[in-house]
Amino acid sequence: DQQVKQNSPSLSVQEGRISILNCDYTNSMFDYFLWYKKYPAEGPTFLISISSIKDKNEDGRFTVFLNKSAKHLSLHIVPSQPGDSAVYFCAAISRYNFNKFYFGSGTKLNVKP
Amino acid sequence: DAGVIQSPRHEVTEMGQEVTLRCKPISGHDYLFWYRQTMMRGLELLIYFNNNVPIDDSGMPEDRFSAKMPNASFSTLKIQPSEPRDSAVYFCASSSTQTRGSYEQYFGPGTRLTVT
């Protein structure tokens, strides 16, 4: 049973607009979350993370929001660029084992020029 | 730094054959992870090592899968015998306790395995 879920397999957005990628989790022991970005034929690369003691973390065009009560996090990309087209994976870590990542199934983002 | 290196990048084999995937972690990293990516389940952790010792292999699907890390710069994931349902992309990743602040794992480019 997947403990981290990304329910949207794909998302299409116009260049310059906002992209919002969502992620839900079931395990209340998760207290650190990461987003990874993956281009075709490459491995995933780290994008941004957030600790459960925060509800927002921002890095340039990328912002991650965490809603602990809803067990939900989202990644906002503003403004979206064609180079952002990739698969985005959400991952969660438990305080009891920060080596064991639980990944979602990914959301494929397509940013149209 | 060359990053995590995986070989081969593509592997096509027939059902029943033995498959060996290889990984060289980033120099100085003391954790090594093997993942499998499928459309349905995304990225699944199969096994991870710390200082060449297997720590958690609970994600290994069945006894046909085995992994070794004979030294700090090399690991293998072996499937024997292979089956069509093993077709997936297999990633190796590494990390370091020296950079625990971010918990980041660094991924290799993956090996795309096709079992016919």
A43-101 pLDDT tens trace? 999 999 999 999 999 999 999 999 999 999 999 999 999 999 999 999 999 988 888 99
* Chain B CA closest to residue A95: B103
Angle at B61 between CA B77 and CA A23, to 5 degrees: 100
Contact A43 B55 (CB under 8 A): no
Instruction: Report the alpha-carbon distance of residue A96 to residue B56 in Å, rounded.
Output: 13
Q: Is B102 exposed, middle or buried (0-12, 13-18, 19+ CB in 10 A)?
A: exposed
Instruction: Report the alpha-carbon distance of residue A34 to residue A88 in Å, rounded.
Output: 10
Contact B108 A41 (CB under 8 A): no
Contacts B105 to A, Cβ<8 Å: 46, 101
**pLDDT tens, position by position, for chain B (116 residues)?**
689 999 999 999 999 999 999 999 999 999 999 999 988 788 999 999 999 999 999 999 889 999 999 999 999 999 999 999 999 999 999 998 766 566 789 999 999 999 99
